[in-house]
């Protein structure tokens, strides 16, 4: 978490390969009254680089919240989630799964891997925005995050 004039900015890592879903998410959260900085990566390998500050992400902040798609190129969301939740330093970062999959197996597996919540992306635009607003209203507004450990 960075601070400026006493105001906290919430850093969100969005891991999403769909350009349109990412743009809609970025646009919706940019209208939030909660200060947030959204960092968008397009595949699982980039997400890992961001979290471990590798390569072009050497100056990346530790995100306060991760919004993770499941079906991703290079390294899928399940692998990214498993890696985050088995890492002593990263495991305290809440992970919101945001996916089109309604498969019970995906839901169960995600919670087994310690996802903090599982949200299904609605196909309908207004309902999609409503889901992003629900992330804002709960995760950015009601939730108390663990203190940063780095």
Q: How far is CA 20 from CA 15, 23, 42, 67, 125, in A?
A: 13, 5, 12, 15, 11
The stretch near Mg ion (CB under 5 A) out of 40-48, 51-59, 71-79, 121-129 is: 71-79
Tell the smallest beta-carbon distance from residue 42 to Mg ion (Å): 9
Question: Which C-beta is closer to Mg ion: that of 1 or that of 131?
Answer: 131
Measured at the CA of 137, the angle between CA 140 and CA 130, to 5 degrees, comes to 125
Whether the CB-CB separation of 68 and 12 falls below 8 Å is answered with no
Q: Is 69 in the site for Mg ion (CB under 5 A)?
A: yes
Question: Which C-beta is closer to Mg ion: that of 10 or that of 68?
Answer: 68
d(CA 127, CA 113): 27
d(CA 24, CA 38): 12
The stretch near Mg ion (CB under 5 A) out of 5-13, 66-74, 106-114, 127-135 is: 66-74
With CB under 5 A as the contact rule, the residue among 32, 71, 92, 101 that binds Mg ion is 71
Question: Which C-beta is closer to Mg ion: that of 101 or that of 148?
Answer: 101
**Binding region for Mg ion (CB under 5 A):** 17, 69, 71
């Amino acid at each position: 978490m960075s601070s400026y004039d006493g105001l906290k900015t919430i850093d969100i890592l969005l891991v999403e390969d769909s350009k349109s879903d990412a743009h809609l998410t970025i646009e919706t959260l940019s209208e939030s009254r909660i200060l947030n900085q959204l960092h968008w990566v397009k595949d699982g390998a980039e997400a890992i680089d961001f979290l471990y500050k590798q390569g072009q992400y050497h100056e990346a902040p530790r995100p306060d919240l991760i919004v993770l798609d499941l079906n991703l190129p290079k390294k899928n969301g399940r692998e990214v989630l498993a890696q985050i939740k088995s890492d002593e330093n990263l495991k305290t970062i809440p992970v919101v799964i945001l996916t089109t999959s309604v498969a019970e197996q995906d839901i169960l597996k995600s919670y087994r891997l310690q996802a903090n919540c599982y949200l299904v992306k609605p196909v309908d635009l207004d309902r999609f925005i409503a889901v992003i607003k629900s992330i804002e209203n709960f995760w950015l507004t009601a939730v108390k995050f663990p203190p940063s450990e780095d």
